[in-house]
Amino acid sequence: MTSIDDLFRKPSAGGKRKLQDPTAAFSHTPSNKSSKLTDGSSPRSSSNGTRESSVSNGSSSKAALVQDEVLDEEDVEAGPTLPSEDLEEEDGDDEEGRFFGGGVTKQEREVIDYIEKNEDGDVEEKIDSPWLRRTAINFERKINKNAELRAKYESDPMKFVGSEADLDGEIKGLSLLSEHGELYEEFVKLGCAGSLVGLLAHENTDIAIAVSELLAELTDEDSATTEDQWKTLVQAMIKSDVVDLLASNLGRLDENNESDRSGVYHVLNVIENILSDTENLEAVGSKDTLMQWLLARIKKTDTNARGKVGQNRQYAAEILAILLQSNKVNRDRFAQKEGVDALLQLLSIYRKRDPEKDSDEEEFAENLFDCLACCVEEKFASEKFVEGEGVELCLIMLREARLAKARALRVLDHALSGGNAVAVSMRLVDAAGLKTIFGMLMKSEKIERILIEHLIGILASLLRYLPGGSAERIRTLAKFVENDYEKILKLVELRREYKIRLVKTDTQIQKERDEMDAADAEEHADEWLSRQLDAGLFSLQALELILSWLVAEDNGARQTIAVLMGEDGLKVLERSLRDQLDGMDSSASAEAKATEEMLEALLLCVEQ
């Protein structure tokens, strides 16, 4: 039998190991646990300086005494066994300071690390079709659960508030879709787009606001979508009556509340995104509730904002400008709601006062002028413009305002070429507008090019639309010939400047055309035309049209123009009129056909 001394002295052949119970050698039942201490005894020493251990040999036991002797440290093996080579070592103790080795294999550690990362959310979930289907199912479940609890516990909100928090979280989680446009079509097919839009009618406005914010993000121009993917979602939204539901939210949100004020902004953001496709202009503008709210909102002042124009008021004006930009139906609808009169009232404060630079108010005023300039192109809206003394207001701004001057001139230019051009032309002359317009023309070297181009457009419209033989037309022609034809001299100078600028552009375009084949040249035709217009092609044609009118109307003007433009001056005007005729579309509108007839009549006069 192995002695106690041998157990302590001899090292194990297999290296270090754990300290075992010394009684294990005498017991039939091996134990890995150390001996339990009793009666305050210590396994290290007794009072008489000897080591002792209790052993059992059946019915009786006695203390085995081990004599003290100095043991060489290298001969004694005690303490924990070293971990095997396939175990990962860890620095320092564990939580309770008991072990220096982790006792975990490398493979186990990799599994643990993966689980920990997954629990911490470090493992990125793959956003694909399976993810979308799972998300769609959870989304619909959250909607149904909330609806069920709301119906069941209508009078006890605490019973369904938790389900609304879950629903809100699910809505916010869908924002990941904005980075995966390839999933938009499936999102629509699964019915999620319709369900999402339907939540805009949720009783809890916080849910509706969350949906508005999400829809704004999904339809934003910065979302990772192609044009087709974007249109797929937006068309599904429109079919689900998104515009009506958004408009109803505008009516129930209270902007005195910060959260609701933010909600109004998100709703307007969605509408703006939808309108980025001009095909949706009429679909959105046809909603009376929305148009009425926008009109009311631009009238409502924001007391605590600079210039009494806050972000949402400015945004409402911007949405209106987009709706009226290129849609006759929307313009007429707006005018029928007394929109033109509202614009004139709002703009009247800028007769002598400029809005603060780089402020919401400045952008607000810009948008109002844009709205007015668009509306006055239509006959009904322009009639309202004349009735509301819009011509007089614009003339006052030309004389007294600074920032509003250019905008007012643009409004007059659009009104004088629109569906009510005759009445506007007559009113401008009757309101003593000729002095203002010609005064600006003579100071054209001191004003911006854009103002000059609007002045040219106004003069061309006056000569075209003022009735022949009327007092207003005679007064206008007299302005051209007074002071020894100084106005005509100015027009000829302006024509020369525009011609020089355009010749440079045409030379460059011709150089590019010579380096291309016919197919490539055709592809660049629109780009070249745009560059010619930027160089002043339209204004040059308008100037030549004005000079042609004067040649036709007054012999003295004819002789002056012939002298100022040289021997071939009238030939130049003739070629210009022919070029404009050749550019006319024979299948165009009634207005275009009237223009064609005017050009033919002028050509006959110039050829004489």
**DSSP secondary structure, 11-70, as one string:** PPTTS--PPPPGGGGT-SS---SPPPP-TT--SS--TTS-EEEEEE-SS-EEEEEE----
The more confident residue out of 117 and 563 is 563
Give the H/E segment covering residue 164.
helix 161-173
Pair 259, 150 in one domain: yes
Residue 196 lies in a domain: yes
Pair 257, 131 in one domain: yes
**pLDDT over 70 (residue 5):** no
The phi-psi region of residue 36 (left if phi > 0; otherwise alpha if psi is between -120 and 50; otherwise beta) is beta
Residues in the chain: 608
3-state secondary structure of 87: strand
Confidence category of residue 12, pLDDT binned at 50, 70, 90: very low
Please tell me the predicted confidence (pLDDT) of residue 491: 96
- Give tens-digit pLDDT for 157-179: 899 999 999 999 999 999 999 99
Strand 61-66 relative to strand 51-56: parallel, antiparallel, unpaired?
antiparallel
Residue 547 exposed, middle or buried by CB count within 10 Å (0-12, 13-18, 19+): buried
Pair 520, 590 in one domain: yes
Give the H/E segment covering residue 343.
helix 339-347
- Give tens-digit pLDDT for 257-274: 999 999 999 999 999 999
Residue 540 lies in a domain: yes
Pair 154, 251 in one domain: yes
Please tell me the predicted confidence (pLDDT) of residue 68: 45
- Of 261, 265, 243, 245, the C-alpha closest to 253 is 261
- Of 130, 138, 133, 259, the C-alpha closest to 207 is 259
Pair 39, 178 in one domain: no
Please say whether the dihedral angle defined by the alpha carbons of residues 148, 150, 151 and 152, taken in this order, is positive or negative. Answer: positive
Q: Distance between CA 101 and CA 91 in Å, rounded?
A: 8
- Give tens-digit pLDDT for 564-592: 988 677 899 999 999 998 888 766 678 88
The more confident residue out of 12 and 201 is 201
Cβ-count burial 326-352 (b if 16+ within 10 Å, e if not): ebbebbebbbebebbebbbebbeebee
| pTM of the predicted model as reported, rounded to 2 decimal places | 0.77
Residue 242 lies in a domain: yes
Q: What is the CATH number of the domain that holds 225?
A: 1.25.10
Pair 183, 57 in one domain: no
Average pLDDT of span 510-515: 90
Please tell me the predicted confidence (pLDDT) of residue 358: 87
Domain containing residue 38: 1-81
Q: Distance between CA 187 and CA 295 in Å, rounded?
A: 35
Average pLDDT of span 469-494: 95
Please tell me the predicted confidence (pLDDT) of residue 126: 86
Pair 47, 153 in one domain: no
- Of 215, 162, 148, the C-alpha closest to 187 is 215
Residue 410 lies in a domain: no
Average pLDDT of span 425-448: 93
Confidence category of residue 123, pLDDT binned at 50, 70, 90: low
Residue 500 lies in a domain: no
> Angle at Cα 386 formed by Cα 380 and Cα 389, nearest 5°?
140
Confidence category of residue 125, pLDDT binned at 50, 70, 90: confident
Instruction: Tell me the range of 377-391, 512-526, 580-594 where mean pLDDT is highest.
Output: 377-391
**Arithmetic mean of pLDDT over the chain:** 83
Please tell me the predicted confidence (pLDDT) of residue 407: 95
Indicate the residue type of 563: V
Q: Specify the range with the lowest mean pLDDT, choosing from 78-87, 392-401, 516-525.
A: 78-87
Distance between first and last Cα of the chain: 143
3-state secondary structure of 572: helix
The answer to whether 283 touches 243, Cβ cutoff 8 Å, is: yes
Structure letter (DSSP) for residue 104: E
Q: Distance between CA 504 and CA 523 in Å, rounded?
A: 21
Bridge partners (DSSP) listed for residue 51: 66
Please tell me the predicted confidence (pLDDT) of residue 30: 40
The phi-psi region of residue 133 (left if phi > 0; otherwise alpha if psi is between -120 and 50; otherwise beta) is alpha
Please tell me the predicted confidence (pLDDT) of residue 27: 39
Token pair 């919401």 in the structure block, residue: 360
Using only the alpha carbons of the chain, give its radius of gyration: 44
Pair 70, 131 in one domain: no
Can you read off the two tokens belonging to residue 53? Answer: 């251990």
Confidence category of residue 96, pLDDT binned at 50, 70, 90: very low
Q: Distance between CA 322 and CA 328 in Å, rounded?
A: 12
Pair 138, 266 in one domain: yes
Q: Distance between CA 368 and CA 407 in Å, rounded?
A: 10
DSSP 534-563: HHTHHHHHHHHHHHHHHHHH-HHHHHHHHH
- Of 428, 438, 433, 543, the C-alpha closest to 482 is 438
Please tell me the predicted confidence (pLDDT) of residue 112: 65
Average pLDDT of span 27-50: 38
Confidence category of residue 124, pLDDT binned at 50, 70, 90: low
Residue 114 lies in a domain: no
- Give tens-digit pLDDT for 407-435: 999 999 999 999 999 999 999 999 999 99
**pLDDT over 90 (residue 292):** yes
Give the H/E segment covering residue 192.
helix 192-198
The answer to whether 212 touches 172, Cβ cutoff 8 Å, is: no
Q: What is the percent of the chain where pLDDT is above 70?
A: 79
DSSP 415-476: HTTSTTHHHHHHHHHHTTHHHHHHHHHHTGGGS-HHHHHHHHHHHHHHHHHSPTT-HHHHHH
Distance of alpha carbon 21 from the chain centroid:
76
Q: Distance between CA 44 and CA 8 in Å, rounded?
A: 13
Strand 87-89 relative to strand 101-105: parallel, antiparallel, unpaired?
antiparallel
- Which residue, 233, 250, 276, sits at the end of a domain? 276
Strand 51-56 relative to strand 101-105: parallel, antiparallel, unpaired?
unpaired
Can you read off the two tokens belonging to residue 479? Answer: 């302005």
**pLDDT over 70 (residue 53):** no
Distances (CA, A) of 355 to 46, 197, 333: 99, 38, 29
Backbone φ and ψ for 111, nearest 5 degrees, come out as -65, -45
Distances (CA, A) of 304 to 259, 367, 490: 17, 21, 49
**pLDDT over 80 (residue 42):** no
Please tell me the predicted confidence (pLDDT) of residue 14: 40
**pLDDT over 80 (residue 467):** yes
Average pLDDT of span 304-327: 94
- Give tens-digit pLDDT for 350-380: 998 889 888 999 999 999 999 999 999 999 9
The answer to whether 254 touches 210, Cβ cutoff 8 Å, is: no
Residue 206 lies in a domain: yes
- Which residue, 220, 245, 276, sits at the end of a domain? 276
Residue 477 lies in a domain: no
Quick one: three-class SS letters along 198-251? HHHHCCCHHHHHHHHHHHHHHCCCCCCCCHHHHHHHHHHHHHCCHHHHHHHHHH
Other CB atoms within 10 Å distance of the CB of residue 473: 19
Q: Distance between CA 549 and CA 573 in Å, rounded?
A: 10
- Which residue, 241, 276, 311, sits at the end of a domain? 276
Cα dihedral 61, 66, 71, 76, rounded to 10, equals: -10
Please tell me the predicted confidence (pLDDT) of residue 353: 87
Confidence category of residue 277, pLDDT binned at 50, 70, 90: very high
Please tell me the total count of domains within the chain: 3
Please tell me the predicted confidence (pLDDT) of residue 103: 58
Distances (CA, A) of 524 to 259, 279, 510, 531: 50, 25, 12, 11
Pair 142, 220 in one domain: yes
**pLDDT over 80 (residue 344):** yes
Pair 138, 68 in one domain: no
Pair 34, 160 in one domain: no
Confidence category of residue 114, pLDDT binned at 50, 70, 90: low
The more confident residue out of 607 and 18 is 607
Q: Distance between CA 344 and CA 389 in Å, rounded?
A: 8
Please tell me the predicted confidence (pLDDT) of residue 391: 97
Average pLDDT of span 296-313: 94
